[in-house]
């Protein structure tokens, strides 16, 4: 591979990773659309150029020269494409709960697969491991530095710090969320970056000759900021996952010398003291005094750690004992500092845990509606309001494994587990020092929404490719170097599972090449349609002219017809008859969408269609049974419509509407009574509103005032 081609591919991969950090970790698929288009086009053009060049030069290449991939690598490259195919089957062959959700998941897994192919291809090239390592460290530095600078007021990050007065969410009232805007995921990524440095530090002791002091300090340098950022996220799940993964990693590598851990003890103790100081100030530190304190604590802890390391490496037993005693004291001080600052959250206030339990129970019941193949993307987000047993707020299921089970059933979950097993096997064989980092991703995703952030998958796949780069293929014989130089002149986007030289090999691999090109092309087209739809929708929201806004919303739906949000905005600006058509078409793409259903009920009232109004209102109560606001408005609409029908002399329709309204009011009042009391979770503030009581009374009086039905 020519140097400039490799550097260009590495730069593109790093750019994707850094953009994902700046775009809230690709939590919103809309943020991924332009990156999909740009990176997909780059990979497509580079691949076509390289393949053409190889075909023209195939006569001079070695016949049968082969670079095989291991089975774990093949699985890691193939499974994202298999999951992409599962979502494509939902979209094209099945009846998913959300076409938009399935297409978005299809695009996500296609993008993850493309990133994995690029990263693993780069890992096989000389110097590729350094590029992957640089990508990892740049992402970690960007996330950590931006978050800490926001704490000290140097940067302004919207939602970079999450404030709350709820002790069940934060013991100190403020949690660090950084660019990701979600403390739990920020915390687990900081744990991953921290453990990577910690276990690299330990692995250095294996090397002969012993590593230089400068190198040890360079490896240990990020420990304090990563540790402080992890603690300031106040994520109990991230703390627990990091602890378990670190303990497992130490057990697996028990033959290594533990002396380097003493070098880490002082920076980690410094991180704990920094956490206590900043937490007591609710993450509102004075900029320059705070930065000077940070710099002093950072430098002092590094020097103290280096002193402990040298004592522990001494031949004198007394010095070694002194080093371990000092290290133990530092660990005790650090643990005490963290516990005293966060004891309210550590030992009490487990309300979020009970909420997760309710979510998991409801999700398990939902799973049995489609156990083998799932119901497509966004299954939980669209279904939880209908199945929730308590009025909690939870548009995310808070478990990556359970989310995959709901979306793709047992088929998808098995593919996911196979991918993780293959990744663990790859690291265990090639670079065990990265296993604890991998373990953090695997453990924490079981209890939170890690995998709803595209950045988590990109970092996980990057980690696996980086681990594989430490096993180099055998060096070719000198006589083969000229031919192999031509053959390996490829980009970081070259597919797929096996690379072979020669025209015969190219013909054999032609189906794989065509598949790769087709997948790239399809992904680029879908991402372009999504990006065009989102852009037009945003323009319509800013457009002051109603006529122009309607035209933009129609154009947006043309590009992205499954977007329920665009359909709702358009229907509000149209006549009731036109609006009904828009809402019905949108509902065909997203059956059961609560917002669309309540909008159809409102539309039916405006059109004076009593039967449709009663039907859609009842559907809305079923699909979103703990939405007090919408249910109150629905009762108001039904009462006014019934009164209008009665005034027009249409007693039969008025009676039908009144009876439907009273039945819904009774159901609403019963559910509100069932969830009254402090012992029940009520995050959505579900209650029988005063307005609802008034509309229920009005409906009852209207029914009494109606003439008796003819016998």
Report the alpha-carbon distance of residue 563 to residue 567 in Å, rounded: 7
Quote the pLDDT of residue 61: 39
Q: Give the residues of the chain that fall short of pLDDT 50.
A: 1, 59-66, 472-504, 678, 711
Report the alpha-carbon distance of residue 252 to residue 436 in Å, rounded: 10
Task: Read off the pLDDT of residues 133-152 as tens digits, 9 standing for 90 and up.
Answer: 999 999 999 999 999 999 99
Report the alpha-carbon distance of residue 359 to residue 394 in Å, rounded: 7
User: Which residues are CB-contacts of 479 (< 8 A; sequence separation ≥ 6)?
Assistant: none
Question: What letter does residue 391 receive in the DSSP assignment?
Answer: -
Quote the pLDDT of residue 425: 95
Residue length, the chain? 711
How many CA atoms, within 13 angstroms, populate the side-chain half-sphere of residue 17? Answer: 31
Pairing between β-strand 161-163 and β-strand 499-500 as defined by DSSP bridges: unpaired
- For residue 402, what are the CA distances in angstroms to 61, 96, 359, 410? 49, 17, 10, 10
Question: What letter does residue 710 receive in the DSSP assignment?
Answer: P
* E strand or H helix that includes residue 340: helix 317-347
* CB neighbour burial string for 673-703, b if at least 16 within 10 angstroms, e if fewer: eebeeeeebbebebbbbeebeebbebbeebe
Quote the pLDDT of residue 515: 79
- Other Cβ atoms within 10 Å of 227 Cβ, number: 29
Q: Is 253 helix (H, G, I), strand (E, B) or coil?
A: coil
How many CA atoms, within 13 angstroms, populate the side-chain half-sphere of residue 302? Answer: 18
Which residues does residue 612 pair with via DSSP β-bridges, in sequence order? Answer: none
Task: Read off the pLDDT of residues 109-132 as tens digits, 9 standing for 90 and up.
Answer: 999 999 999 999 899 888 889 999
Supply 579's token pair: 């609006």
How many CA atoms, within 13 angstroms, populate the side-chain half-sphere of residue 546? Answer: 5
């Amino acid at each position: 591979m020519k140097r400039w081609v490799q550097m260009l591919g590495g730069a593109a991969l790093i750019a994707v990773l850094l953009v994902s950090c700046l775009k809230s970790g690709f939590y919103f698929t809309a943020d991924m659309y332009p990156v999909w288009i740009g990176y997909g086009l780059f990979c497509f053009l580079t691949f076509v150029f390289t393949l053409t060049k190889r075909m023209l030069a195939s006569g001079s290449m070695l016949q049968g020269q082969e670079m095989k991939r291991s089975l774990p690598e093949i699985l890691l490259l193939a499974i994202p494409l298999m999951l992409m195919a599962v979502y494509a089957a939902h979209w094209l062959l099945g009846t998913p709960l959300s076409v938009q959700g399935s297409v978005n998941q299809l695009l996500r897994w296609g993008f993850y697969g493309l990133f994995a192919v690029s990263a693993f291809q780069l890992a096989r090239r000389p110097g590729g491991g350094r590029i992957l390592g640089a990508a990892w460290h740049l992402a970690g530095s960007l996330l950590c530095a931006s978050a800490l600078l926001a704490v000290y007021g140097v940067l302004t990050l919207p939602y970079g710090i999450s404030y709350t007065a709820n002790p069940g969410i934060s013991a100190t009232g403020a949690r660090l969320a950084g660019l990701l805007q979600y403390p739990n995921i920020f915390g687990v990524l900081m744990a991953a970056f921290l453990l990577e440095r910690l276990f690299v530090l330990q692995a250095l002791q294996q090397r002969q000759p012993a590593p230089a002091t400068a190198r040890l300090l360079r490896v240990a340098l990020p420990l304090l900021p990563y540790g402080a950022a992890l603690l300031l996220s106040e994520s109990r799940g991230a703390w627990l996952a990091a602890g378990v993964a670190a303990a497992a990693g130490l057990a697996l590598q028990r033959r290594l010398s533990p002396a380097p851990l003493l070098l880490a003890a002082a920076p980690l103790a410094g991180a704990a003291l920094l956490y206590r100081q900043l937490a007591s100030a609710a993450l509102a530190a004075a900029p320059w005094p705070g930065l000077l304190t940070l710099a002093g604590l950072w430098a002092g802890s590094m020097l103290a750690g280096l002193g402990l390391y040298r004592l522990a490496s001494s031949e004198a037993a007394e010095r070694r004992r002194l080093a371990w005693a000092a290290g133990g004291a530092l660990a005790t001080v650090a643990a005490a500092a963290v516990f005293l600052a966060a004891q309210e959250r550590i030992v009490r206030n487990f309300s979020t845990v009970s909420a997760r339990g309710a979510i998991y129970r409801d999700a398990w019941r939902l799973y049995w509606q489609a156990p083998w193949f799932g119901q497509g993307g966004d299954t939980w987000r669209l279904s939880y309001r209908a199945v929730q047993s308590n009025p909690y707020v939870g548009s995310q299921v808070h478990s990556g494994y359970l989310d995959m089970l709901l979306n793709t059933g047992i088929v998808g979950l098995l593919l996911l587990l196979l991918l993780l097993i293959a990744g663990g096997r790859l690291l265990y064989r090639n670079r065990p020092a990265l296993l604890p980092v991998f373990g953090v991703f695997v453990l924490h995703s079981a209890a939170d929404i890690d995998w709803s952030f595209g950045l988590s998958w990109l970092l996980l796949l990057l980690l696996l490719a980086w681990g594989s780069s430490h096993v180099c293929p055998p060096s070719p014989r000198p006589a083969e170097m000229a031919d192999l130089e031509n053959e390996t002149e490829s980009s970081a986007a070259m597919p797929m599972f096996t690379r072979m030289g020669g025209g015969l090999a190219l013909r054999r691999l032609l189906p794989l090449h065509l598949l790769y090109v087709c997948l790239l092309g399809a992904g680029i087209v879908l991402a372009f349609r999504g990006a065009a739809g989102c852009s037009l929708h945003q323009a319509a929201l800013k457009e002051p002219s109603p006529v122009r806004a309607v035209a933009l919303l129609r154009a947006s739906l043309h590009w992205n017809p499954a977007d329920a949000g665009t359909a709702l905005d358009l229907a509000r600006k149209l006549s009731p008859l036109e609006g009904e058509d828009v809402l019905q078409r949108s509902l065909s793409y997203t059956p059961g969408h609560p917002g669309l259903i309540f909008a159809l009920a409102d539309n039916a009232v405006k059109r004076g269609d009593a039967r449709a109004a009663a039907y859609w209102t009842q559907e809305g109560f079923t699909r979103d049974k703990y939405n007090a606001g919408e249910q109150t408005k629905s009762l108001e609409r039904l009462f006014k419509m019934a009164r209008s029908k009665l005034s027009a002399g249409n007693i039969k329709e008025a009676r039908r509407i009144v009876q439907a309204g009273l039945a819904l009011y009774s159901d609403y009042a019963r559910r509100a009574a069932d969830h009254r009391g402090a012992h029940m979770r009520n995050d959505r503030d579900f209650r029988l509103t005063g307005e609802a009581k008034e509309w229920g009374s009005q409906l009852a009086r209207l029914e009494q005032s109606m003439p008796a039905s003819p016998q």
